[in-house]
Amino acid sequence: MIAFERVFKRYPNGREALSEVSFELGQGEMAFLTGHSGAGKSTVLKLIALLERPSRGQVRVNGLNTAAVTGRKIPAFRRLVGVVFQDHKLLADRPVFDNVALPLAIAGVPRREMDKRVRAALDQVGLLGKETSFPLELSAGEQQRVGIARAVVSKPPVLIADEPTGNLDPELAREVMNLFRRFNEVGVTVLIATHDVHLIGQFGVRRLHIEKGQLVTGMPDVAA
Amino acid sequence: MSLPEELRGPRQGPPRSAAGRLGGWLERHAQTLVSSVGRLARAPFATVLTLGVIALGLALPACLHLVVVNARAVTAGLEKTVQVSVYLRPGLPAEQAQRAERGIAARNDVIETTLITPEEGLKQLEARAGFGDALKALKENPLPYAITVRPAPQFDTPAAVETLTAELRALPEVDLVQVDTEWVRRLEAILEALRRIVVVAAGLLALGVVAIVGNTIRLDINSRREEIEVTKLVGGSNAFVRRPFLYSGVWYGLGGGLLAWVLVVTVIGLLGPAVETVAVLYSSDFRLAGLDRHAAATLVGGGTLLGWIGSWVTASYHLQRIEPRA
């Protein structure tokens, strides 16, 4: 689960990204995080992934106050949060298999199980058979899906994604959203930042809308 | 389409046994081991260059060590106790020479004396290489009576020997007094100093090897910064990120150590025949000693350890400072 409690974030350059943001996403809940670019969507995700720290207020993930997660505790924390990055953050000099297997290698999963799980994850994003390709040989959409496979392969209880369908055509975008949905159905807490209004209209999930660093309440949740 | 069993989480299945965990740990290390070798092999020029520098840093003290070992071997056969040769005036009659010897033998700072007659002296001289023919040309024996004097152990110090020689020189029968074995002691002192120099040089060069490995690893870390960031981003601990660099350091050290050993063996091989020629001329059966098994193991093992230290220090320092940027 994810909980923000009166979170205020000001960047060192003085820009106020979030002010007084509070929300709670229960265990196994799924939500879209919407808003214009620059509204603070990415900041919310960065605070969850420990890439940024709140200036004030509390962020809790998986029952842990992130303020208490420092130094050596950070890696274990991050392993429980699958992140799909907008810029993929893939290793260009490693084949797709190695990229997807990275979280499993970190967790010390044995080779055989690693094999099975990487293949299952790639199958889910429609990239089975691309194991030996290198990221730069793939299209932007395919790279994005490799990033998604990497985020889900370690079965984290929390999954966050920053514009995961940005580079995908509508057909694939829907497929990817369905994938997140399937993870949500087996109990994973999912938060997806997106501005694809078209797409979210097709999913009946909660919507958190941010404008100028503040959560706007009363936005209609998208009907199924 | 529903989620396959493999991705249904979070965390299920029985906890892994201790043996399973150990197996996984070994497997991970084996993987890193192999991939770190592959990484070094992919940049052969840089790797060979680094190995060469490390090997030189290790081979230099090893060669100095062999200089000391071999010099020790050369001087090992030499008399270490001080011996004073007293040459009596030429033409001194036998009974006076014997009286002089008894007088010297009675001193309390002398433990042993030997009288050498001119005839015996000539025989000894003839026995030495190269002198035989020259001596045959002489019509009469030019040698005087000589007495070799061994100071008592407690009078073995340079000062006591100095006093003894001065007093012997003052005797009326005495023509010349020589302290024969002083140079051996000087050589010993020089060798001891050299041995210490080897230790200090080895220490400094070991620091050099650590610095070389450290610097190489630092460059490696810089060029793999993105990979490190991404690995940390998906939950890689410092220890996990550090592991491949530690292996690289160990490979550098091990490779450098082996190369240093090859270098030393080559040097001994090149110098051996020349030294043997000299030894034969001095009718000695001395042969240049190479590294024994213990020294070779120290060289290779020490190199490996230094590589590990260098990479550990650098990787620990630099990796902690690389944090994923948003």
List, edge to edge, every strand of the sheet that includes A81-84.
A81-84, A158-162, A189-193, A30-34, A206-211, A214-216
At residue A224 the predicted structure's pLDDT band, cuts being 50, 70 and 90, is very low
pLDDT score of B253: 95
- The minimum CA-CA distance between B315 and chain A, rounded to whole Å, is 16
* Residue type at position B242: R
Predicted confidence pLDDT, tens digits, chain B (326 residues)? 577 777 776 554 455 677 767 776 777 788 777 888 888 888 888 899 999 999 999 999 999 989 888 888 877 766 566 788 889 888 888 888 888 888 888 888 888 888 888 888 888 777 765 666 777 777 777 888 888 888 887 877 777 888 888 888 888 888 888 887 667 777 778 888 888 998 999 999 999 999 999 999 999 999 889 889 999 999 998 888 999 999 999 999 999 999 999 999 999 999 888 888 888 887 777 788 888 899 999 999 999 999 999 999 999 999 888 887 65
Residue-wise pLDDT for B283-303, tens only, equals: 777 788 888 899 999 999 999
CA-based nearest distance A183→chain B, Å: 7
The Cα–Cα gap between A98 and A92 comes to 10
Where are any strands of DSSP class E within chain A? 2-10, 16-25, 30-34, 56-61, 64-65, 81-84, 158-162, 189-193, 206-211, 214-216
List, for residues B299-316, the tens digit of each pLDDT value.
999 999 999 999 999 999
Cα separations in angstroms, A97 against A127, A132, B31, B39: 10, 6, 15, 18
What is the reported pLDDT for A223? 45
Q: Residues 7..36 of A with a Cβ closer than 8 Å to B: which? A: none
Q: In what order do the strands lie in the sheet with B110-116?
A: B110-116, B146-151, B84-88, B174-179
The pLDDT value recorded for residue B171 is 84
Which of B10, B25, B231 shows the shortest C-beta gap to A102? B231
Does the pLDDT of residue A221 top 60, yes or no? no
Cα(B168)–Cα(B172) distance, integer angstroms? 9
Q: What is the pLDDT of residues A5-48, one digit of tens each?
A: 999 999 898 888 898 899 999 988 999 999 888 888 889 999 99
pLDDT tens digit string along A95-154? 999 999 999 988 888 888 899 999 999 998 889 889 999 999 998 888 989 999 999 998
B interface test, pick of A13, A30, A74 with most B CB neighbours within 10 Å: A74
Whole-number pLDDT of residue B16: 62
Task: Tell me the HSE value of B50 on the side-chain side, using a 13 A CA sphere.
Answer: 27
Question: Distance from A218 to chain B by nearest Cα, in Å?
Answer: 30
| pLDDT at B13 (0 to 100) | 47
Residue type, A92: A
Any residues with CB less than 8 A from the CB of A79 and at least 6 apart, and which? A103, A106, A107, A154, A156, B234, B235
Query: Tell me: the pLDDT tens digits for A169-190?
Result: 888 888 888 889 988 988 899 9
Burial class (CB in 10 A: 0-12, 13-18, 19+), A7: buried
pLDDT at A218: 60
pLDDT score at B181: 65
Q: Report DSSP letters for B10-22, one per residue.
A: SS-SPPPPHHHHH
Considering only CA atoms, which of B212, B206, B215, B204 is closest in space to residue B315? B215
Residue B34, SS3?
Answer: helix
Residue of A nearest to B225 (CA): A91
A-B interface: how many C-beta pairs under 8 angstroms?
105
How much is the ipTM here? 0.88
Enter the tokens of residue A40.
Answer: 């603070």
Its pTM stands at 0.74
CB B227 within 8 A of CB A91: yes
φ, ψ for residue A105, nearest 5 deg: -60, -40
* Partner-chain residue, chosen from A93, A102, A111, that has the shortest CB–CB distance to B234: A102
